Amino acid sequence: MLPKTSEYALRAVVWLGSSEASVPAEPLSKSTKAPRRYLHTVLQQLVQAELVVSQPGPGGGYRLAKDPAEITILDVVTAVADLQRIRSCPLGLSSHTRLCPLHKKLDDAYAATEKAFREVTIAQLLRSTSKIKPLLETP
């Protein structure tokens, strides 16, 4: 359901949220299983959104710009791609002055997804008591 760009951004932010130090792009790419060149583009979008800080040079890399408790899934997703909502008839029918039942239900589902993403922080994901840890192979 999410574009690959959003998936890579979420993986990167979760990984960075679990690290105290800056993480270079190459290890971050390997850890998140995201293509390095593509991940670089995603990370730059996260930097522009002020969710991630880039530190150039030896010992540099990427780190979160905010506490993981201040970053929601919605923040990350919308930093790299707009969540599409249906505001008017996708068919352009002039007689549809409001959404038809089909497009209203679809927009309701998009709204519920947006709400769910807004309610979950990166810190909550990292504090999960699940035996399955984000981005890590479990024994």
pLDDT digits (tens, 9 = 90+) for 28-64: 999 999 999 999 999 999 999 999 999 988 878 999 9
> Exposure pattern of 2-39 as b/e (b: 16+ CB <10 Å)?
beebbbbbbbbbbbbbbeeebbebeebbebbebeeeeb
Q: What global pTM score does this model have?
A: 0.87
Give how far Cα 9 sits from Cα of 4, 88, 117, 121, Å.
8, 29, 14, 14
Is the pLDDT score of 78 beyond 70? yes
Does domain 4-82+122-126 fall into CATH 1.10.10.10? Answer: yes
What pLDDT is attached to residue 108?
A: 94
- How far is Cα 29 from Cα 34, in angstroms, rounded to an integer? 5
Residue 46 CA to chain centroid, in angstroms? 9
